[in-house]
Amino acid sequence: MAAVGVSRGFGLGRPGWPAKLNVVRTVFLARIRIISRYKGAILMEALLPIVFAAMPVLLGTSVAGGNPAEAFCNTLVRGGGLVIPPGETCIQNYPNFGNYKLYMLIGASTFTVVSIMMWLIGYWVRREQETGTLESLALAPARRIWILAGVTSYAFVRAMIAFVIAILLGSLVFQVNPFEQGVAPALAFLALGLLPLWGLSFMFGAFIMRIKEADSVIQVLQWVLAFLMGVFYPLTLLPPLMQGIAGLFPPTVMTDAIRASILNITYFYGSAYGSVAVLFAMALVTPLLGYELFEVTERRLRRREGVGHY
């Protein structure tokens, strides 16, 4: 009955690196195309951290009265176990520790990077479930890791665009200079911190895929994340147990290290080397755990109602 020379299709056997990278590239470009068709989305996203940072800056100014920089410096110095000689001001001894505006701006900007990376994966999974495209992806022979790599690359680019615009515009708005010192190590910390963040976003995607709801989870986690990351305050203000928990959260370590290198203030893990070691360990473990969790969740769904169930 079969005609001679029936096509065998494509993708049988093990696809090579060009085919795998082509999947990453195609998924990445498709996401970029899609977001570019929602006018103004990226710009609005970039403005968010400036507004987000402006609130605590204004609050700090109103609470601290005439000298918020001195008040902030005192908090950081005491938290870091440093000493101010009697009769001298904090700013005189630790001039870098009073730059509360840049501290808030960096915190808000890295928070934006973290939330974009995580929420985009969460919303991506949910939306794909709802529109049926997740099932279409599951039907294709392309491995999930390459599809996820495409989506996370897109999330990374979006996060970086928002980060750069926020830092540049924010510097103008708050009259601060983020490029005076420690820019190179800060970028290295950002790059290193993105690897565990990649893994966390897989975990979050798996969670959303499992519970089939994104909005309410993101609403809650947004604040938990900001709290754990110490976006607007030094972690030393938290009780010891909370400090321990926050210190195990990769975005917290990344934000702390970026701030410490740019502002030349104390590191949560004592030194830049301490932060590098912790971030490096997290970068090794978290992506593997995240991908494994994503695969386990998908397999569980396939055993139960199927990935297309929404």
Partner 1 sequence: MESIIRVDKLSKSFTTKERKKGQKRKRTVQALKDVDLVVYEGENFGLLGPNGAGKTTLIKCLTTLLLPSEGTAWVNGYNIHKQEDSVRASLGCMLMGDRGLYWKLTGRENLDYFGALYHVPRDVRRKRIGELIDLLKLDEYADRTVETYSSGQKMLVAFAKALINDAPILFFDEPTVTMDVPTARELRRIVRSLNKDQGKTIVYTTHLMHEAEELCDRVAIIDRGEIIALGTPNDLKASLVREDVVQLEGVFPARTVDRLRATPGVRDVVVKAEGNGRTTLAVVCDNSRLLLPRIIEAVSGNGASLEYIKPQEVTLEDVFIAKTGRSLAIDTREVVKEAGKGGGGRG
Binding-site ranges for partner 1 (CB under 8 A): 1-13, 15, 19, 22-23, 25-27, 30, 33-34, 37-38, 131-133, 135-143, 147, 299, 302-308
Cβ 144 to partner 1, closest distance in Å? Answer: 11
Contact between 139 and 108 under an 8 Å Cβ cutoff? The reply is no
Pick between residue 22 and residue 93 the one whose CB is nearest to partner 1: 22
Pick between residue 140 and residue 187 the one whose CB is nearest to partner 1: 140
Pick between residue 9 and residue 86 the one whose CB is nearest to partner 1: 9
Give the Cα separation of 97 and 213 in Å (integer). 42
Contact between 53 and 108 under an 8 Å Cβ cutoff? The reply is yes
Pick between residue 142 and residue 265 the one whose CB is nearest to partner 1: 142
Residue/partner pairs of 228-232 with CB below 8 Å, 24 or more apart: 228/252, 229/107, 229/110, 229/111, 229/114, 229/255, 230/107, 230/255, 230/256, 231/104, 231/107, 231/108, 231/110, 231/111, 231/255, 232/56, 232/104, 232/107, 232/108
Pick between residue 39 and residue 65 the one whose CB is nearest to partner 1: 39
Pick between residue 65 and residue 304 the one whose CB is nearest to partner 1: 304
Number of Cβ within a 10 Å radius of residue 16: 9
Cβ 219 to partner 1, closest distance in Å? Answer: 24
Pick between residue 30 and residue 51 the one whose CB is nearest to partner 1: 30
Residue 277: both structure tokens together? 């070691």
Give the Cα separation of 158 and 80 in Å (integer). 34
Sign of the CA dihedral with 96 first, then 85, 236, and 238 last: negative
Cβ 124 to partner 1, closest distance in Å? Answer: 11
Cβ 163 to partner 1, closest distance in Å? Answer: 24
Cβ 301 to partner 1, closest distance in Å? Answer: 9
Pick between residue 36 and residue 177 the one whose CB is nearest to partner 1: 36
Burial class of residue 185 (count of CB atoms within 10 Å of its CB; 0-12, 13-18, 19+)? middle
Cβ 5 to partner 1, closest distance in Å? Answer: 8
Cβ 157 to partner 1, closest distance in Å? Answer: 17
Cβ 147 to partner 1, closest distance in Å? Answer: 7
Dihedral angle, C-alpha 238, 239, 241, 247, nearest 10 °: 20
Contact between 105 and 49 under an 8 Å Cβ cutoff? The reply is yes
Give the Cα separation of 146 and 112 in Å (integer). 25
